[in-house]
Structure formats: C-alpha cells, structure tokens
Amino acid sequence: MNVLKNKIKAEGVVLSETVLKVDSFLNHQVDPELMMEIGKEFAHRFKEEGITKILTIESSGIAPGVMAALYLNVPLVFARKKKSLTLTEGVLTSKVYSFTKQEENTISISREYIQKNDRVLLIDDFLANGQAALGLIDLVKQAEAVVAGIGIVIEKSFQNGGKIVRDTGYRVESLAEIESLENGEVQFKEEEAT
C-alpha cells in the first residue's frame, strides 16, 4: 500500500535494527485520513470472507480496526490489556508475551461480544514475533468463533511472526512488509525484488 509506505518513509523512525517508531501517525498521534485508507484496503481485501466482527488489541489496533469495521459494516471489539472494573463476568483471557516490551500481558474480552460462529477478522498495528496475533486467535477459538483472516498494518518480515502465524493456516494480509531496518533505513520487501 503505497500511501502507507510513503508515510513510513517520511515519518518512521528506526530506533534499532528491530524496532520502528511510527508515533506520528499510528502509535501516539493518529492520521485519520491514512487510517481511513487503511480501513478501506482491509475491507477490500477481506470483503469475500463474510466477516461479522473485527477483533484487535488496545490501544494501537483500534484506529485501523475501527476504520476497517466501518467499511465492512461490522462492529469492532478490542481486547483489553488491563483488568477492567466493568469486565467481570464471562471473560475470556489469553496470555501474550511481548518481546519488544519484554513483558507479559493478559488480554481479555467479554464473551458477550464474540459469539459462537462469528467470522472474525483480526487486526493489529504490527506483526513482529506473532504473539499478539496468537493471543487473539486463542480468544476467538475460546469463543467458538471462526478466524476469517488477519490484517496487519506493518509486518516486519525479518522477524518470525509472519511464518508462525501463516503456519497456523490463516490468511494474513499485511499492508506494508518491511524486509530490513539495518543501517537506520527502512527497506520494504517489494523494493528488493525490483
């Protein structure tokens, strides 16, 4: 998705060989027009999948997720990372280890919002080691719903999450695939092939 790649090139900050900072449009400040284009693109790619719900994780998955939900005309559910005072009964939980933050989070959703047989599109901002996506898959399975696909805004292809998640057999669509962050530069996958 060129508009996204151009934004990453212009505003992305390479923090290390493994971490990209995109606080100016996705992880802190949010660019609503770009989120709209991202939502439209996810909706286009998954329009034949009979999606009935979108599931993401707070907080950075919410902006792209809600736009995809708007264009697919379905609700968005976001898994919570912190214990909620109001989320007390019928809660499904899964543990997610973040290599980036080196911490484990328990993510949770209410059973009420993902029903048996829902066809769920999972959305997240980054795919790195795949643990967040696996946690979301686990929640959908516990709800006896169906994972209909996984939409990722930025995939870091040099980390192993893409393989781990694709090996589960689910369709993964990434809007920007980063092959390398070496030498302080963002190298996209397609650029290498040309």
To ligand 5GP, the closest distance from the beta carbon of 148 in angstroms equals: 19
4 near ligand 5GP, judged by CB under 6 A: no
Of 80 and 156, the one with the shorter C-beta distance to ligand 5GP is: 156
Sheet holding 53-57, edge to edge: 76-79, 53-57, 119-127, 146-156, 172-180, 187-188
Q: How far apart are CA 154 and CA 94, in angstroms?
A: 23
60 near ligand 5GP, judged by CB under 6 A: yes
- Interface region with ligand 5GP, contact rule CB under 6 A, candidates 13-21, 46-54, 71-79, 104-112: 13-21
- Token pair for 77: 């559910």
To ligand 5GP, the closest distance from the beta carbon of 66 in angstroms equals: 16
Of 83 and 163, the one with the shorter C-beta distance to ligand 5GP is: 163
Query: What single-letter amino acid sits at 115?
Result: Q
To ligand 5GP, the closest distance from the beta carbon of 35 in angstroms equals: 15
Chain centroid to CA 87: how far? 22
- Token pair for 17: 């060989």
- Token pair for 120: 């769920």
* Per-residue binder mask for ligand 5GP (CB under 6 A), 74-113, x = binder: ------------------------xxx-------------
Helix H or strand E segment including 66: helix 62-72
22 near ligand 5GP, judged by CB under 6 A: yes
125 near ligand 5GP, judged by CB under 6 A: yes
CB 182 within 8 A of CB 16: no
CB 55 within 8 A of CB 149: no
Which positions touch ligand 5GP (CB under 6 A)?
19-22, 27, 60, 98-100, 124-132, 156, 161
